[in-house]
A and B are shown apart, each in its own frame.
Chain A
């Protein structure tokens, strides 16, 4: 089979076109992958599921609260699952996701309702959240998180 110059030119053009379109496709596929993980994290927080939370976070996780309190991965998971309070609901309102290479900047308006186990008292929280996700191999995992009161 001979490949003539025209065939070569056409296939080169096709490959170039693919190269031009692929980055655009890749970016939104990554955004979708991050969005899935963010939603899984929200559900894991409500369920207070230590296994799920563990799988979604880097071992180097740095997690902070609106008080400025900083937790490492072990402390975050312990405190998020110790049963001292129970999330009745958590909403991640108006989320934005920006993928920059191997990292993703995620921001949203957190609306939470908790019930304290000790006295049944209900607590509402209204926060602006910044999450930084980073790809570990093929998986997006949470690397850092910060919050501020609104």
Chain B
């Protein structure tokens, strides 16, 4: 018989996994409403070149149409729940159209999700080139 704590841990794991997948789809769709709902107001989002964005800048840049994602894969994701936080890592592989060119990139991503009320939201993200 699973204890209440086991049940909660499993429920949290599933909730984070669901939101990570929703985030991936929202990035492909360049959907500002979805991205906004999935991110904490204190979001700190950085790219592999060290470029740092707050929530407003991230959503604006992710949805301004300058880049079109043809595909984004979050390969081999791992999720670790530690109290109100979730450490998420995966191998990002994406193809995009930018400046009329097709570009592919491959990154190691670290996402930190925070449970705010009943919702898991993305608090910080960083990337490094593979």
Contact = CB atoms under 8 A, between A and B. Distances in A.
A64 B84 contact: no
Nearest to B108: A68
B82 A101 contact: no
A132 B128 contact: no
A143 B113 CA distance: 12
Contact of A103 (B49, B85, B91): B85
Interface residues of A, number: 27
Nearest to A135: B83
By secondary structure, the B interface counts as strand
B50 A150 contact: yes
Contacts of B85: 102-103, 132, 134, 143
Interface string B18-58: 00000000000000000000001010101011101000000
Interface residues of B, number: 28
Contacts of A98: 42, 44
Contacts of A103: 84-85, 112, 114, 123
A36 interface: no
Interface of B: 40, 42, 44, 46, 48-50, 52, 80, 82-85, 87, 89, 91, 108, 110, 112, 114, 116, 123-124, 126-130
7 contacts: A62-B87, A62-B89, A105-B123, A107-B44, A134-B85, A148-B49, A148-B126
